[in-house]
Amino acid sequence: MKVAQPQAQAAPPAKKKVEGPSLTGDAHLVSSPINLMSLRSHGQKTLKEMLAGVEGENKHLIWDMDLFGPLNHVISPKMLSENGVKTRSGLDQKVNVPPDCNARIFFERKFVSSKDHKKKKIFYTYSFKQKRKDRKIYVWMVPRKTFFCERILGEEGVLGDVKLNEWPIVFFPVDRDVLSLCNEGCLTKLLNGDVSDLYDIAWSLTNLQALFGKFPVINAKGDWSCAVVDIMKRLLLEKDDVFSKIESKPEIAQCIIIDRTVDMITPLLSPRTYEGLLDKVFTINHSSISVPVSILGKSHQKQKQKDNESVSIVLNSSDTVFKQVRNVNFTYLGRILSEMANAIQKGYESRWDAHTTKELSQFMKRFKDLNMAHQLVEQHIHLAEQIAEQVTHTMAWKRKVEHEFALLAQRVAPSGETAEDYLEEMIGKHERIETVLQFMILISLCYGGIASKKYEAIKKSILHSYGMNHLSTLDKMEELGLITPYEYISKFFMKNSTHYFNWSQVSKNLQLVKEMDELKQMTDNNSLGIYDINAMGSGYAPLSIRLIEAATKTDGWNAISNDLQLLKGRHYIKLSLQNQRDLQVNQDISESNVSAHKNILIVFIGGVTYSELSAIRLLESRGLMPWKFIVATTAILSGEKIVSSFVEKK
């Protein structure tokens, strides 16, 4: 991908520096449909109060490394320093603690199992061997302390020596429209039958309602989602005294909760948007990526002396260029970046039209913004070139997405190969085991299983090429229903199975697949209509997004009740958790105080993909759409992350 870049201009002296992209600034939260800055401020205020209660002026804060990334969304090193934290380190890191350090604070994710021997060992070795009488030790659990927390500390014989507390952060505000629990292992645990995280999700949603009001309407699909709603009912009753004091109209008009298992196909597909491909190539880790400085533009190379050094790039709405292109199908990205570069170049050239002192002053004010936009456009051009070179311009990628779409459309691939033949070819080329299993699961889900004889042959090839340790990997995926072998005769009797999924019927009813030839004949978003989401996904509209789209219409999910029956798990339609007092408060508030736009909170239990986030933003951008969306998720994931969690390591 080659895009003409704007010519760099000599910078005039600037009085005030233009702020670039940031995780802890305000730019990416200020335009949120609900006040996410207050949510972040609530977490900061609570933490400051906890730090103020720590005895001693010089504090040593020790992170659980799983929390290091998430905490960057809420707190900054400056804030910690201002509150007496002199030393910071990871739980796995050994550092020389200053002699004047008189308080050590362990910031830990809550213990959920007494089998967590590694944490116990690290905790014991690293803290209590070096304990001094004048040094206080604190253990702070996120988001709450559990029975296992106290049990583990008790087993180590240190419960009486520590001060145990909890930091009740509700959600981490990732972006203007995204909240996350940053719980990467949630889906794996839930699939394996460990449902302890469902309480945390319900607890977080209940506390979110304490800040923004009770959800007037809830739609939930999937057994996990309905379980969360049931837990939430109980928690709301327990906190009735808190909610009785709320006298403002809820800021969230509807809550939609969806299990990841309701739509397992979407995360298994190759990403087609710019943000999704950035994650595939560079791995987005809590809204930032680390890339070699050698692949970036001159502005970065001037700041770094060595080409092998890496630079961290923040990817959120505070990057004004990324905000505009993150949701774009990669096919159209080059054209958009080119238009941006041309606009910046014209902005630079406008200096020749400035003849008076006033005109020069106005140009100087614009120059700082132009220069920042120039750096950002240049940066994204180079990132896009890397994506094209490593992925989208390769023949392997083109063949893979062709076979994926053929599976979705229930037709033969352009090459004439069957999906199973292509899978055998992938194994023969010894592609990554995660990639092979991802495609294998996709075959099984789209066709309701894999013929037993064919499956045994594929299984034998995998074990021969990748090792016998993957026998347990395949067995696990069979047990969870991700891969289903079947005899031809038995396929007709599978409909009563909990693992059966009629993709063909669901796809047809909800209009999930549209051939690209048809989409190309629709020249703009108005003619595309509901197929604008298909166009973004190169022909595929995510199942989860069609459910969200249906919930925004007048009849809501009642209009697709038959389709909901085809999907896994039970459901709730337009359930209300409000009591008569809540309804009376809402009725008493003047309609003039209510925004023309209504807010919907979409909760993904098990994780959400970048493709789905992009599709939700597209849904919101439709001209007559009266809704604003906020996504709350357990984590942001990809198919590779899902599969890798089940891969048996040697």
Asked if the peptide bond before residue 143 counts as cis, ω within 30 degrees of 0, the response is yes
Q: Which of 56-70, 97-111, 356-370, 528-542 has the lowest mean pLDDT?
A: 356-370
Tell me the average pLDDT across 372-394: 95
What is the rounded distance in angstroms from the CA atom of residue 403 to the CA atom of residue 416? 10
pLDDT, position 524: 59
Contact 83, 103 (CB under 8 A): no
Tokens of 545: 């997004």
What is the rounded distance in angstroms from the CA atom of residue 623 to the CA atom of residue 545? 17
pLDDT, position 54: 92
For 437-449, write each residue's pLDDT tens digit: 999 999 999 998 9
| Burial class, 493, CB count within 10 angstroms (exposed 0-12 / middle 13-18 / buried 19+) | exposed
| Residue written as token pair 């304990």 | 131
Helix axes 452-466, 470-479, angle to 10 degrees: 150
What is the rounded distance in angstroms from the CA atom of residue 407 to the CA atom of residue 402? 9
Pinpoint the alpha helices (H) of 429-556: 433-447, 452-466, 470-479, 503-510, 516-520, 525-528, 532-536, 543-551
Contact 445, 264 (CB under 8 A): yes
For 240-299, write each residue's pLDDT tens digit: 877 777 767 899 999 999 999 999 999 999 999 999 999 999 999 999 999 999 898 666
pLDDT band at 393 (very low <50, low <70, confident <90, very high): very high
| Burial class, 370, CB count within 10 angstroms (exposed 0-12 / middle 13-18 / buried 19+) | buried
Q: Which of 35-49, 102-116, 389-403, 630-644 has the lowest mean pLDDT?
A: 102-116
The fold adopted by the segment(s) 278-392 is Syntaxin Binding Protein 1; Chain A, domain 2 (3.90.830)
What is the rounded distance in angstroms from the CA atom of residue 183 to the CA atom of residue 172? 11
Tell me the average pLDDT across 334-354: 83
Residue 492, pLDDT > 80, answer: no
Contact 239, 616 (CB under 8 A): no
Residue 237, pLDDT > 60, answer: yes
Rg of the chain (C-alpha set)? 26
pLDDT band at 363 (very low <50, low <70, confident <90, very high): low
Tell me the average pLDDT across 436-463: 95
Q: Where in the chain is the domain with CATH 1.25.40.850?
A: 396-500
Tell me the average pLDDT across 453-457: 94
Contact 40, 72 (CB under 8 A): no
| CB atoms inside a 10 Å sphere around CB 315 | 25
pLDDT, position 161: 79
List, in sequence order, every residue forming a beta bridge with 631; answer none if it has no partner: 178, 602
pLDDT band at 592 (very low <50, low <70, confident <90, very high): very low
pLDDT, position 81: 92
User: Residue type for 495, please?
Assistant: K
Residue 305, pLDDT > 60, answer: no
Contact 215, 209 (CB under 8 A): yes
| Residue written as token pair 């804030």 | 79
The fold adopted by the segment(s) 396-500 is 1.25.40
Nearest by Cα to 617 from 549, 538, 517: 549
Contact 551, 600 (CB under 8 A): yes
Q: Where in the chain is the domain with CATH 3.40.50.1910?
A: 183-265+550-642
Domain 183-265+550-642 has CATH 3.40.50.1910: yes
Chain mean position to CA 465: 33
- The b/e string for 155-180 (b: 16+ C-beta within 10 A; e otherwise) is ebebeeebeeebbbbbbbbbbbbbbb
pLDDT, position 58: 86
pLDDT band at 333 (very low <50, low <70, confident <90, very high): very high
- CATH numeric code, 36-169: 3.40.50.2060
For 556-567, write each residue's pLDDT tens digit: 999 999 999 999
pLDDT, position 594: 43
Output the average pLDDT for the chain.
Answer: 85
Please give the helix or strand (H or E) that residue 408 lies within, else none.
helix 395-409
Q: Where in the chain is the domain with CATH 3.90.830.10?
A: 278-392
pLDDT, position 35: 94
Cβ neighbours of residue 487 closer than 8 Å, sequence gap 6 or more: 451, 452
pLDDT, position 299: 60
Highest mean pLDDT among 7-21, 113-127, 472-486, 572-586: 472-486
SS3 of residue 11 by DSSP: coil
What is the rounded distance in angstroms from the CA atom of residue 527 to the CA atom of residue 310? 44
Nearest by Cα to 116 from 166, 64, 159: 64
pLDDT, position 1: 61
pLDDT band at 2 (very low <50, low <70, confident <90, very high): low
